[in-house]
Chain A
Amino acid sequence: MVSGNIQNANSTFLRESTVMKIHYITGLGALFVVAVHVMMRLVVPFSTSLEYENVINNYRILWYALLLEIILVLISIHGFNGLRIMLIELRQNAMWEKFVTIFTLAAMLAVIGYGTRTIIIANGL
């Protein structure tokens, strides 16, 4: 019976509409910052832009490191929420949904944490 399966919207930490607003905003934000990031690669020849010295120098520019951090956060939130949505659609039971939510949230925080660490180390702060 579906009536027994109807989920109480208030039982979750965030309302789904709030989560989706975050999803759309991070998606649009990521589109913008990644476009800036790609365009910055075109300032110098593409092959040169990926050389070790060049990459490290980029990290040392504070505003560019900040841009990379923003990209990392936006992409992580958007990507892992997308993964959560796909996994939730696969199976429908409360335990699975709880596991998927916790797993994607933990994975998202781990990726952001590790990425931030890399940016901080490369920046030399």
Chain B
Amino acid sequence: MVYESCKGYGSETWIPLNKKTAGNDHQTVHDEGKQNVLLRVLRGDMFKKTKRSFSTFSVPVRRWTTVLDALIYAKEHSDSSIAIRFSCRMASCGSCGMIINGIPRLACYTKISELGYDTVTCEPLPNFPVIRDLVTDFQQFFNHHRHMEPYIENQYPVPREEALSEFKQTPRDIDNYLQFSYCIKCGLCYSACPTVATDTKFPGPQALSQAYRYSADNRDDAEKKRLDIVDNRHGIWRCHFAGSCSAVCPKGVDPALGIQLLRSHLMSISKTPKTLADLRKIDDDKD
């Protein structure tokens, strides 16, 4: 068995390397379309309170190999104790968010060949408590999300069932919020937000953009309630518009835009016409 010494943050760990690639692990090796990269994983356990250190693995990759594939390979062939969270492998579930070469990304959505480096460094998402290795605790993140009441609310009951058929949205109505509904709650925007890094009570870009998403929906009439929720000392006004949330979103959502639009609603500069919610209300009044 060949071992490699690797140093990270002042600590040293010894990990077995694949014999075939030993001695060439820092070099790009062409072997039937394969090449090897060095995969560095920041390890640590919040329960054992061990000092965090990097473990390094040599992983064969092909053109289409993603960082998640490489992590699973390392877990299967080198060290089964690597803690990672993943599920769908197609950027739909938002489970495998991590810092890859310094930028928050989804591991399943990041091809190693597109990174352009022979070394891939994986670290857990910042602004989240680390449970173990690359697995972080999303409790606070989901609490912020839940607090925004992320669902359509309408306090007026439907007077007649047939009235529901009238509650159709035009493409223009849908355009008001559609991009924000693509959010998969992966937490990359939350980890990239500089305000969240210092202010844990700040809801973060994900929760605020979802507050806008439902406020901009013309079937919803709880906008005032949501504006009350975000209008506090640690609320929407603490966004400094760094824009890093929008830069890292893997689904093309622009949370920074959502926050600015929600702010303009709060400042009464603009508002979304609540045609459908109002229709329901008027209908109710008639009855």
Contacts and interface: CB of A to CB of B under 8 A. Distances in A.
- Do the two chains belong together in a single complex? yes
Interface of A: 1-3, 5-9, 12, 15-17, 20-21, 85, 88-90, 92, 97
A2 B140 contact: yes
A89 B198 contact: yes
Name, among B144, B195, B234, the residue most crowded by chain A CB atoms within 10 Å (CB to CB).
B234
B237 A3 contact: no
A16 B199 contact: no
B18 to A, nearest CB: 44
Nearest to B145: A2
A95 to B, nearest CB: 13
27 contacts: A1-B143, A2-B143, A2-B144, A2-B147, A2-B200, A2-B201, A3-B147, A6-B147, A6-B201, A6-B229, A7-B201, A8-B232, A9-B228, A9-B231, A9-B232, A9-B235, A12-B232, A15-B231, A16-B233, A16-B237, A17-B231, A17-B266, A20-B237, A85-B237, A85-B238, A88-B234, A89-B238
Contacts of A5: 200-201
A117 B229 CA distance: 42
Nearest to B235: A16
B187 to A, nearest CB: 14
Contacts of A17: 231, 237, 266-267
Contacts of B195: 89
B198 A16 contact: no
B68 to A, nearest CB: 29
Contacts of A85: 237-238
A16 B235 CA distance: 8
A92 B232 contact: no
A21 B231 CA distance: 12
A84 B279 CA distance: 43
B198 A21 contact: no
A97 B147 contact: no
Contacts of A16: 231-233, 235, 237
Contacts of B238: 85, 89
How big is the B interface, by class? 20 to 34
A12 B233 contact: yes
Contacts of A12: 232-233
Contacts of A7: 201, 232-235
B203 to A, nearest CB: 8
Contacts of A6: 147, 201, 229, 232
Interface in B201-252: 201-202, 228-229, 231-235, 237-238
A55 B228 CA distance: 48
6 cross-chain pairs, A with B, having the tightest CB-CB distances, nearest first: A2-B143, A7-B232, A89-B199, A9-B232, A17-B231, A92-B201
B259 to A, nearest CB: 13
Contacts of A20: 237
A56 B62 CA distance: 78
A72 to B, nearest CB: 25
Nearest to A4: B143
A89 B198 CA distance: 6
Name, among B198, B232, B235, B238, the residue most crowded by chain A CB atoms within 10 Å (CB to CB).
B232
Nearest to B141: A2
A32 B227 CA distance: 31
Contacts of B146: 3
